[in-house]
Amino acid sequence: MAATLAVVSCNNEKQSQVNPFFAEWQTPFGVPPFDQIENEHYVPAIDSGIALARAEMAAITASTEAPTFANTIKPYDRAGQLLNKAAYVFYSQTSANTNDTLENLQMEIAPKISAFGDEVLLNAELFGRIKTVYENREAEQLNAAELFLLENLYKSFVRNGALLQGADQEKLKKLNQELSVLTVRFSQNVLAETNGFKLVIDNDADLKGLPESVVATASEMAVADSLEGKWLFTTQKPSMLPFLQYADNRDLRKKLYDAYLNRGNNGNEYDNNKVLADIVRLRADRAQLLGYATHADIVLETRMAKTPDNVLNLLNDLLDRALPVAKRERDEMQKIVEAEGGTFKLEPHDWWYYAEKLRKAKYDLDDTELRPYFSLDNTRDGVFDVANKLYGITFTRIENIPLPHPDAQAFEVREADGSHVGVLYMDFYPRESKRQGAWCGGYRDHKVIDGKEITPVVTIVGNFTPPTGDKPALLSMDDVLTLFHEFGHGLQALFSNNTYVTTTTAWDIVELPSQIMEHWATEPEVLAMYAKHYETGEVIPQELVEKIRNSSYFNTGFDNVEIMAASLLDMAYYSLEAPVNVDVQKFEKETMQKIGMIPEIEPRYRSTYFLHMIDGYDAGYYVYTWAAVLDHDAFDAFSEKGIFDQATATSFRKNILEVMGTMEAEQMYLNFRGREPKIEPLLRNRGLN
Whether the Cβ atoms of residue 48 and residue 82 lie closer than 8 Å to each other: yes
Which pairing describes strands 231-233 and 420-427: parallel, antiparallel, or unpaired?
Answer: unpaired
* Sheet strands (E) in 228-286: 231-233
- Non-local (6+) Cβ contacts of 551 within 8 A are 359, 362, 363, 365
Whether the Cβ atoms of residue 561 and residue 601 lie closer than 8 Å to each other: yes
Whether the Cβ atoms of residue 270 and residue 192 lie closer than 8 Å to each other: yes
Closest CA to 299 of 590, 637, 621, 651: 621
CA distances from 68 to 129, 149, 154, 163 (A): 8, 14, 13, 21
301 in active site: no
Asked whether the CA dihedral 55, 58, 63, 69 is positive or negative, the reply is: positive
Q: Which among 146, 178, 356, 486 is annotated as catalytic?
A: 486
CA distances from 159 to 9, 163, 297, 510 (A): 33, 9, 11, 21
DSSP structural state of residue 41: G
Query: In whole angstroms, what is the distance from residue 157 CA to residue 41 CA?
Result: 31
Q: Is the peptide bond before 324 cis (omega within 30 degrees of 0)?
A: no
Query: In whole angstroms, what is the distance from residue 121 CA to residue 53 CA?
Result: 13
End-to-end CA separation in angstroms for the chain: 64
CA distances from 666 to 264, 567, 630 (A): 38, 22, 11
Whether the Cβ atoms of residue 373 and residue 627 lie closer than 8 Å to each other: no
Query: In whole angstroms, what is the distance from residue 172 CA to residue 241 CA?
Result: 43
HSE toward the beta carbon, residue 65, CA cutoff 13 A: 9
- The residues carrying an active-site annotation are 486
